[in-house]
Structure 1
């Protein structure tokens, strides 16, 4: 089963309520907008792969999914945008299932020791791409580390070390530059894995949208005043579940693959502008970096050496031109390496398994309403475009995102200008008041309550089916699992009434032994770069960037 679907409702509340409240606060307290301002920009990238063997993987909550190798390595990628004499913001994108408040606390502690109050929890946002193929055990809540049998120090240290180092890189690379934004539609890269649930939305709501998933990609292009393009970050909604719950290789899934494709594309085609078209005949591949590519360096040195001629006791007339070439090569070595990040947005029920869900025993489509096969959820799996090869599905979905990102990158012309700002708050999601329209007219105020996982949650999704006799959409439950539940925690009547019509399987929000099972207070963070606003939450299900 997939452990994190229950956060969708909380993130939607955040996106629909706090986004606009905090955004309004930002606009009301704006110090004004500078025109045609030039920012300081810096980008960094660092390895965060962590343990690649004998550790439970994060995402599917499958205790049998134990890492046994590496598909490709994981990275943290960072950008910093700063006003020359003012605010700065940091965004870190992780090739990990999600960020962790515990990880961020340790990172901020290290940054404070190094830079003082320059980087704090207020202006540093950390988010994950939601890959389900990374090592687990790095969060501080029971429900997230129960399948990893507790906290895994190696996973935690790899993340903290990598995030710290990539922020240091970005800080040391800060140089005058500009940021451009572009948006576009990307189809056939994500489908709604719960279309029957979507159809339960009012027709008036569904009629606002052309598709039942978000198809927009937003991209930032970072351009150094001297070196030209030095990186890009984009946001697009599709789950990191091209790799299945039986996969045992560490992988950044489709978004991690897309990032590697784009970084390779730029390195292979960069002539200073980074605007070369994609080669249609092949997909860029990441070759092993274990053995350095000495051949190219050797040939370059031979060519350079050949330009030196014997003076025969006279002055070498080519001396100045040779010196210029040597200096030019030396300067090229100082050029920042291109960094490309493929960030997650409102992925909710967006699956990369675009062929649909089918029964593994019959090959027929799964039951539309409950995603079962002959009443069992374990046999219903979504199929990616490379079916039955999940590695190929990962490559294809990554390639589709990469190609769209290149189009947006080459066409980015809207420059961000104005102030850099940020807001950060902690909000107790178990005590929110929400105003909703009533069917007969008027409005009513309802209150949220502590988190709880329902019986339908245990059925998982078509990306990662659960076990036993659970079914999606179950609003009844059964006596046996209620008895099992009560051994851990019997929910109060108030909690049962608040969660209706969802029957409670695990009352995680009220479970505190040996420590909290799930968060109730979550950090909400907004970064502003000129006319662009980014809402970030730790889980990775961020709202898409908003252009004011």
Structure 2
């Protein structure tokens, strides 16, 4: 979910995606608390938030709810889709995928429950620092269209600052950290078919591996959260856009190549391939941690994509005029936008008038969650989308000024992106006029910024005056009945007649050296069958034989970045699951085996678990 590419159907796993929850409570009144959740998914859907809030109410009563819980997505573009209730988001994921939705909701709930059950008294420390050589502005022409007087306020066209909270228990034990940094998790490009938490996830992986030595990935007590921030126009592909067929730069208004058009213009990261780029960018982040609004509508340049993931057909960035052919297609297939909506969104030419589409369900939300939570002198603004650098700085300044004008002079304001609901991008009025991807994806028109400033200032004022609980109740978003809308049902699994699920089709070699790849192929089943048990489940283990205890010890699972899990399905419905172990140079020599775990679903039979194992093999230096 993220590139909106119909060709990007999942085929395996590079890294597991985690949810991390942090609860902060007043030591003098433990019922006064706030929850911040960062989930390694594309974004938080309104449907997910509503489901989580209902389950929290069922479990904890009024202790946790919409007023004190923020759910934030890291914005990885290599995660599952299908957990949205609005039509526009369901198109690329081919509907509502209930297993994905349930896994995400259950994972968030479990992370909050784990945090709730493990709360300890302690202190929170705040620090800030600059992260260099990690990001670029992917729409510099839009940035340059902002007033010079505004641009002179900044030393860069991206926000390089990381804000970090360090959490230490009263006994001196470090228990966690939570940071915000502006970067798009798109180091893995739209050709990737394996789930990945991308660069931000890799930073969290490295941090937790360092702090939780001796634990399997994802199992240790220390929690490292890397949350999204004002990443709207920020890319990790720091080599910039180049024509992949000629090598020439295509950093122009349209991201257009003379030969091949926009499809040939793709930005590259610092590595030799997208996985290495992911790890380099993630390591950089890890080391540093160490007017009126309109009905929603998407413009032509939305379909052009960005240099991180180009779009399709003949759409380009910077389109401020429509096209008679695509206008005719839009009018015939969807609907023609009303005159009011067209006027409101100018100079955006409207490609998809989502605010005027309601079948089979509304295509975009019309109720947006706005939220600020405070922890002592820290104020976290929950931003419902991807805010560009300059725009987010406007909001930051206004909120700081609002707090100061009401006596709160020591507030540290942090912007946390993609929280509670997804509303695409938000650009400044000036950036909007250029109509690159971010401007075309600003749903509510050119004056969206003014509306958000007004709302956030009102919340900041109420918090500063202690009157937040007296604010009027506002309309609740709907829960749409989308649970049965899917175009990717699991009908049944199939296997060769002479085989069982988990049988080895191609086994490992007897011996490997460090730096080589051990691979085994199994008779498999659809990984979605395992979604119900996903939270504490692994598709694979790499195990080492312990000569002292005469038992096998799990060394790696599917959360390790040294393992790969790939699922393939043939035209007869038979699945092959491929498990790879990339043997690192610091691997302990010894006897190993690889195990695979799954669940099969055959016609008229309940879902059944199964497993398979490779032969033993030796690893030497």
TM-score normalised according to structure 1 size? 0.69
Task: Answer whether contact 1:98 1:538 (CA < 8 A) is retained.
Answer: no
Are 2:199 and 1:254 equivalent residues in the alignment? yes
Task: Answer whether contact 1:129 1:343 (CA < 8 A) is retained.
Answer: yes
Change (3 A) 1:540 1:477: closer
2:145 to 184, 189, 200: 200
Q: What do residues 482-524 of structure 1 show as CA deviations (whole Å, max 9, x unaligned)?
A: 0011120111111111111111111111211111101222101
Please name the residue that 2:575 is paired with.
none
**Structure 2: distance between partners of 1:98 and 1:148:** 14
1:368 to 243, 252, 255: 252
SS state at 2:261 partner? coil
Please name the residue that 1:157 is paired with.
102
Superposed structure 1 runs of 4+ greater than 3 Å apart: 286-289, 537-546
Please name the residue that 1:504 is paired with.
350
5+ long unaligned stretches in structure 1: 1-57, 270-285, 293-335, 407-445
Please name the residue that 1:467 is paired with.
312
**Structure 1: distance between partners of 2:149 and 2:365:** 33
Please name the residue that 2:379 is paired with.
533
Please name the residue that 1:30 is paired with.
none
**Structure 1: distance between partners of 2:299 and 2:216:** 45
Please name the residue that 2:359 is paired with.
513
**Structure 1: distance between partners of 2:53 and 2:338:** 38
Change (3 A) 1:463 1:287: farther
**Structure 2: distance between partners of 1:538 and 1:367:** 29
Please name the residue that 1:358 is paired with.
242
SS state at 2:178 partner? strand
**Structure 2: distance between partners of 1:147 and 1:182:** 39
SS state at 2:306 partner? coil
**CA apart distance, 1:261:** 0.3
Task: Answer whether contact 2:374 2:380 (CA < 8 A) is retained.
Answer: yes
**Structure 2: distance between partners of 1:253 and 1:541:** 20
SS state at 1:97 partner? coil
Are 2:43 and 1:68 equivalent residues in the alignment? no
1:448 to 285, 293, 297: 293
**Structure 1: distance between partners of 2:78 and 2:163:** 25
Please name the residue that 1:40 is paired with.
none
Count, aligned residues:
390
**CA apart distance, 1:456:** 1.2
**Structure 1: distance between partners of 2:98 and 2:106:** 12
Change (3 A) 1:367 1:351: closer
**Structure 2: distance between partners of 1:113 and 1:350:** 39
Q: What do residues 205-260 of structure 1 show as CA deviations (whole Å, max 9, x unaligned)?
A: 11111100111100001111125210000000000100000100100000000001
SS state at 2:303 partner? helix
Task: Answer whether contact 1:111 1:119 (CA < 8 A) is retained.
Answer: yes
Task: Answer whether contact 1:101 1:538 (CA < 8 A) is retained.
Answer: no
**Structure 2: distance between partners of 1:457 and 1:516:** 19
Change (3 A) 1:106 1:535: same
1:377 to 252, 262, 277: 262
**Structure 1: distance between partners of 2:174 and 2:139:** 40
- Please give the residue correspondences for 1:219-230 in structure 2 after superposition, counting only pairs within 5 Å: 219-230=164-175
**CA apart distance, 1:540:** 6.3
Please name the residue that 1:175 is paired with.
120
Are 2:338 and 1:393 equivalent residues in the alignment? no
Task: Answer whether contact 1:191 1:354 (CA < 8 A) is retained.
Answer: yes
**Structure 2: distance between partners of 1:369 and 1:521:** 33
**CA apart distance, 1:475:** 0.7
Task: Answer whether contact 2:199 2:281 (CA < 8 A) is retained.
Answer: yes
SS state at 1:175 partner? coil
**Structure 1: distance between partners of 2:387 and 2:36:** 15
Q: What do residues 162-195 of structure 1 show as CA deviations (whole Å, max 9, x unaligned)?
A: 0111101100111111111000111111101111
Task: Answer whether contact 1:95 1:252 (CA < 8 A) is retained.
Answer: yes
**CA apart distance, 1:287:** 7.2
Q: What do residues 121-147 of structure 1 show as CA deviations (whole Å, max 9, x unaligned)?
A: 111100000000000010111111111
Task: Answer whether contact 1:129 1:540 (CA < 8 A) is retained.
Answer: no
**Structure 2: distance between partners of 1:124 and 1:342:** 17
**Structure 1: distance between partners of 2:54 and 2:338:** 39
Please name the residue that 2:23 is paired with.
80
Please name the residue that 1:547 is paired with.
412
5+ long unaligned stretches in structure 2: 397-410, 414-621
Are 2:163 and 1:218 equivalent residues in the alignment? yes
SS state at 1:447 partner? coil
**Structure 1: distance between partners of 2:353 and 2:217:** 47
**Structure 2: distance between partners of 1:489 and 1:480:** 14
Are 2:136 and 1:191 equivalent residues in the alignment? yes
**Structure 1: distance between partners of 2:384 and 2:152:** 31
Please name the residue that 2:187 is paired with.
242
**CA apart distance, 1:107:** 1.1
**Structure 2: distance between partners of 1:265 and 1:184:** 20
SS state at 1:125 partner? strand
Task: Answer whether contact 2:304 2:315 (CA < 8 A) is retained.
Answer: yes
1:494 to 340, 359, 369: 340
Task: Answer whether contact 1:96 1:131 (CA < 8 A) is retained.
Answer: yes
Task: Answer whether contact 2:209 2:217 (CA < 8 A) is retained.
Answer: no
SS state at 1:114 partner? helix
Task: Answer whether contact 1:257 1:398 (CA < 8 A) is retained.
Answer: yes
Please name the residue that 1:231 is paired with.
176
**CA apart distance, 1:106:** 1.0
**CA apart distance, 1:454:** 0.9
**CA apart distance, 1:537:** 3.2
**Structure 1: distance between partners of 2:149 and 2:386:** 28
Comparing both chains, which one has the higher relative contact order based on Cα–Cα distances under 8 Å and sequence gaps of 6 or more? Answer: 1
SS state at 1:377 partner? helix
Please name the residue that 2:516 is paired with.
none
Please name the residue that 1:402 is paired with.
286
Change (3 A) 1:287 1:117: closer
Are 2:6 and 1:91 equivalent residues in the alignment? no
**Structure 2: distance between partners of 1:386 and 1:184:** 24
SS state at 2:370 partner? strand
Task: Answer whether contact 1:103 1:159 (CA < 8 A) is retained.
Answer: yes
TM-score normalised according to structure 2 size? 0.61
